[in-house]
Each structure stands twice: as structure tokens, then as C-alpha cells.
Amino acid sequence: MKTFNAILKQEYLINKRSVSNLIMGIGMPICFFLLFTSIWASDETMSQEVIALWVRQYMVQMTAFASLSFAFFSLPYAFQEDRNGNRLRIIRHSPIPLWQYYASKIIGISVHFALAILAVFTVGHFAKGVNMSLNDWLISAGILFAGAICFMPFGALFAHIKSSQTLSVVANIFYMGLAVLGGLWIPVQTFPDFMQQLAKFTPTYHLNNLLISYFNKDFSVQSLLILLGYAIIVLVIALAVGKKLEVK
């Protein structure tokens, strides 16, 4: 246990050095949230009730968007940095169980997820007047946290990319592409028909649908299973790629 605590402390110190990335990952979605909700609030054709629903929905969508940045960027870059700096090799050749290293990474990114949820929800409540019952706050936060965990296998897969430039390109394509196509920025209903059908194949669509269906009192078990399926499939691919690279 002392060893694990030492690894966690080391992970904390590493993350502390990259606090600017944490601020950027949370700050950009908050700025988009404040900007777009301010534009909607000035639309006189929409009732205040409809605007309130849109603001609430966009708040949780931007929270999901913030969490994705840590799964697609922070996690793979952390693995890449450890690999290039020989930290991972040192741990592999030490008595430290490898699971403790990976557990520390998961805990570190999970803290980022929690901070993103807390920050965006705080801004939504105090700056935009989003009001929900304590139960709704907690359950929507739980859905967002669990959903963000399901995207961590993508980061584990991207971590196998050796070039930092290539990793940046791939991560940005998935980050922005899945966010837009999955409906985190623009409602899927506004897309052309073929894009609406395409959106339903993205994991971000199903994360968004989990939140929408919860607030509509009709929780989508199908979207939950599909999201879990994506996580398992991508994790298996990431492990297979990692094993193949180790053999080489």
C-alpha cells in the first residue's frame, strides 16, 4: 500500500506540472457554454421554459465535451511521456506491480473528470441559473462520470502512437469529430437525414442520449449497452495492439 501511495503522489506531482492543460480542457467548454446560451437567451421566439431546458441540456453536453478532452488528450500523452521518459520501463523492471501504475493513471484522469463536472455544473447553476433537484444533479453527474470512463480505452489506444504530432492529429479528429457528429455541439435533429443515421453509430451520441433520456424519464438501456460495448471493444483492441508492440 505504501508503494501505491508513492505512485499516486508521483502521479499527482506530474499532473500538477500540467495544470494549464487542465484549465484549458475545462475552460474552453465553459466559454462555449456561456457564449451559446447567451445567444439563445436573446432569442425572443423561444419561451423562457424552453430556453431553460436548452441551457440545462447544453450544460451537460459541454461537461461531456470537457471530459472527452482528458480521455483523448491527457491520458494518451501521459502514457507517451512515461514511455519516452523511460518511466514505464523502469516500473516494468521494478518490483512494483504494473496494475498499480495503470490504476494511478485511471485515478488521475478520473479526478480530472470529476473536476470538469464540478466546474461546469457550478458555472451552470450560478451563472446561468440551472436548477435541478439534488437527485438530478447527482445522477446526471454519475452518468457523465461513467460515460467519460467509457472513453478512456480510446486514450489507451491512442497512447500506442509513437509520434506526438500524429497523436495530436488523431486525437483532434476524434475529439472534435465525435463531439460534433454525436450532437454535443449541435442537436442531431438539425442534421441532414444521412448524418442523423451516421450519428447513431458514434459513442458520443449514445452518451448524449443517456442524458436526454434520463431527463425525459425514459432512460435508454440500449444506449448504455452500446456505450459499454464501444468501451470493451476499443479496450480489447488497445490491449491487442499493446501486446503486439511489446513482442516487436
The 8-class DSSP code of residue 190 comes to G
21-54: per-residue pLDDT in tens? 788 889 999 999 999 888 877 767 778 888 888 9
175-187: per-residue pLDDT in tens? 999 999 999 988 8
How far is 227 from 63, CA to CA, in rounded Å? Answer: 17
- How sure is the predictor about 248, in pLDDT bands with cuts at 50, 70 and 90? low
Q: Is the per-residue pLDDT at 213 higher than 70? A: yes
Looking at residue 247, its pLDDT comes to 64
**Cell, residue 150:** 467509457
Dihedral sign for Cα atoms in the order 220, 65, 31, 112: positive
* Helix, coil or strand: residue 189: helix
109-122: per-residue pLDDT in tens? 999 999 999 999 99
User: What is the separation, in whole angstroms, between the first and last Cα of the chain?
Assistant: 33
How far is 161 from 174, CA to CA, in rounded Å? Answer: 14
pTM passes above 0.85: yes
